[in-house]
Amino acid sequence: MNERDAALKALEWYTDNGVTEVLESEPQDKTIKIPDSFEGLKEATPDPGTFKANIPPETMPKKPSAKTESDLISSKDARAEAENLVKEASTLEELRKAIADFEGLSVKKTALNMVFCDGNPKAKVMVIGEAPGADEDKQGKPFVGASGQLLDKILGSIGLSREAETPDEALYISNILNWRPPGNRTPTPAEMSIALPFIEKHIALISPDILVLVGNTPMKTLLNTKEGIVKMRGNWHDYQPVSDIGLKLDKPIYALPTFHPAYLLRNPKQKKTVWADMLMLNKKRIELGISKA
Ligand code: URA
């Protein structure tokens, strides 16, 4: 690998681990200067045939290691612990505390703040995203960055707001993961599985009439499907709890998958598709008597 590629790899490794902020106004060259003379180069590199850039080994990206048996067992244990914890949580505050105390998700260690919810807990419409990003991590609130502002506009177009006091106009917002994954990576299947009892208990405590699932991660996790968002959006789905924590719904919960606002920021042409989803959402609210039309 040449020096440039090695430096790029190291940078990629930093980004993957959430080191995305420049803390000093001037960049600093922390690499050891490569001597320009051939003599010096020979000294610095005992075998010129295997010359490598002088990047400290601890900053070099490590190949993702294959999952060991103990990793798999520990995700299973973490999921079992999450299931036990939620069984004991009967209020939102108890659930928030259970998640805050839970040590089974490594994303907790790299995040700045836990992101539990925003909006009105009496809302009839609950929005579920994937995981906090950098802005959400700083503020401890879901969907407060650029994609959150677009989400507010989209839902505002049919009269829904996280600030509304009346349950029919209100929104309640949370995410599958309550901690920002390093570098905003997509949550892994193991993380989604471990977090599932928490979000399912969260849904049960809010007891909304409608779930809006933004993007693939909440849709796949909560509708227990391998299908992609393109196939699943545009239709209503019957939400049924997936995890085995004894949740019984006392009414139907209608789930509407739609595109994630971050995707819309990159593909503005798809906004019309989401507008069609919002019209469906509004029609359902009217049918359920939770919108004035
Ligand atoms: N994207 C999400 O899925 N959730 C947030 O809270 C922010 C961005």
Ligand 1 binding pocket includes 147 (Cβ within 6 Å)? yes
In the chain, the domains with their CATH numbers are: 69-287 (3.40.470.10)
Mutation choice for ligand 1 from 116, 126, 128, 175, CB with most ligand atoms inside 8 A? 175
Q: Is the pLDDT of residue 263 over 70?
A: yes
Q: Is the pLDDT of residue 229 over 70?
A: yes
Match 């990576």 to its residue by tokens: 185
Write out the two tokens for 289.
Answer: 């008597």
Is residue 174 a contact partner of residue 142, using CB atoms and an 8 Å limit? Answer: yes
| Rounded average pLDDT over 281-290 | 97
Alpha helices (H) in 33-133, listed in sequence order: 38-44, 69-88, 92-101, 107-110
Q: Band of the pLDDT at 16, cuts 50, 70, 90? A: low
Ligand 1 binding pocket includes 169 (Cβ within 6 Å)? no
Distance 131 CA to ligand 1 centre (A): 5
Alpha helices (H) in 92-222, listed in sequence order: 92-101, 107-110, 134-139, 146-156, 189-206, 216-222
Q: Express each pLDDT in 84-104 by its tens digit.
A: 999 999 999 999 999 999 999
Mean pLDDT check: name the lowest of 28-42, 43-57, 155-169: 43-57
Mean pLDDT check: name the lowest of 24-33, 34-43, 64-73, 224-233: 34-43
Ligand 1 binding pocket includes 136 (Cβ within 6 Å)? yes
Q: Which residue has the higher pLDDT, 41 or 193?
A: 193
